[in-house]
Structure 1
Amino acid sequence: MNAVELRAIQAPIKERYRAEPGAARFTLKARGTLDEKNIACKVETGHALAVAGLHRATGGTGLELCSGDMLLEALVACAGVTLKAVAMALEIPLSAGTVSAEGDLDFRGTLGVVKDVPVGFDQIRIIFELETDAPQEKLDQLLKLTERYCVVYQTIRNGPSMAVEMRRSV
């Protein structure tokens, strides 16, 4: 795919969303089933079944996926796809590249060992390593627009309103 093809695909979608703002609103969903025997949750990804469990630092076996790792993986996936789309739209040539995310957290908060230690990541870093001959000002623009349009990055950065409820299954 090239910039012209991408614009051709997205143009009617963008036009529809301009004309019908409500058509642009979607509810994405995820669902998991609690494991009956282990401290694990089977998450339906749409393409496979992912089994999430405790991180080794909290007593897990390391055989299941850690939800913190999954969050970083979702961030890497979204940032990588966004970067590729923006690079294509700006006609920035990329020979190759990698996207990495790393996050720091203190498991004393998760385990309730120290009450004033926050639960969750206190810092997340995204690192793009690109093979390109594009000038720096184009790469600066690429980074700025990737940050702006990456859904997972913006969601983490801006902290959406959240609601939690518990229901009895029938």
Structure 2
Amino acid sequence: MTSALDPRPLVRLFAEHPGRAAARFAAAHDLTGPTRVEVSTGSGHRFTVDEPASLGGADAAANPVEYALAALGSCQAITYRVWAALLGIAFDRLHVAVDGDIDLRGFFGVDDGIRPGFGAIRVKVTIDGPETAERYAELTAAVNRHCPVLDLFSNPVPVTHELLIPPPA
């Protein structure tokens, strides 16, 4: 698989001007149905999130945890592309499969000793190409060190939560 992607100019830019590397991403969410949420990102993209019928939704779209797994898998794939280019490692095909286990008793408060999120996540990467297994292992190590969404899943991130209640009209 060939790519026109060359991350080296960005690497140089960020090394020379660290302030240019700071980025902020945003998303706004409006609950529009029992579990349906319309999402607008800061970059102008829009998508829908919903729960399956078994969890009270209309199954109109992927649910939040499926999007979380999709974010992890797609970030892994992109990070493979970037780091393959940086390390000079070629591949012909890359496939990432991600699955995870949740005990819904945590979400529904049946047992507060059970976390509401994933208890385990598995990432399986299939890569085909001309390189040795050692080179692909080197690439995988670099990807796992630098994948932003893997970092989000693997390390605690401070989250602030603010409740806004408009005054009565």
Using structure 2 for the length normalisation, give the TM-score: 0.86
Which residue of 60, 63, 68 corresponds with 1:63?
Answer: 60
1:44 Cα offset (Å): 1.1
Q: Show the counterpart of 1:11.
A: 12
Which residue of 97, 102, 107 corresponds with 1:105?
Answer: 102
Q: Partners of 1:48 and 1:8 in 2: how far apart?
A: 26
SS in 1 for 2:17: helix
1:86 Cα offset (Å): 0.5
Which residue of 25, 33, 40 corresponds with 2:36?
Answer: 40
TM-superposition CA deviations, 1:76-115 (whole Å, max 9, x none): 1111100111111111111111011111111121122233
Q: Show the counterpart of 2:115.
A: 118
Gaps of 5+ in 2: none
Correspondences of 1:1-170 after superposition (within 5 Å):
1=3, 5-17=6-18, 22-35=19-32, 37-45=33-41, 46=43, 48-169=45-166
SS in 2 for 1:164: coil
Judge conservation of contact 2:84–2:139 (CA < 8 Å) in 1.
yes
Q: Assess, with a 3 A threshold, how the Cα gap between structure 1 residues 75 and 67 changes in structure 2: closer, same or farther.
A: same
1:7 Cα offset (Å): 1.5
RMSD: 2.0
Equivalent pairs: percent with the same residue?
23
Gaps of 5+ in 1: none
Q: Which amino acid letter does the alignment assign opposite residue 39 of structure 1?
A: T
Judge conservation of contact 1:57–1:107 (CA < 8 Å) in 2.
no
Q: Partners of 2:145 and 2:116 in 1: how far apart?
A: 26
Q: Assess, with a 3 A threshold, how the Cα gap between structure 1 residues 157 and 57 changes in structure 2: closer, same or farther.
A: farther
Q: Partners of 2:136 and 2:98 in 1: how far apart?
A: 19
Judge conservation of contact 1:58–1:111 (CA < 8 Å) in 2.
no
Q: Partners of 2:71 and 2:115 in 1: how far apart?
A: 22
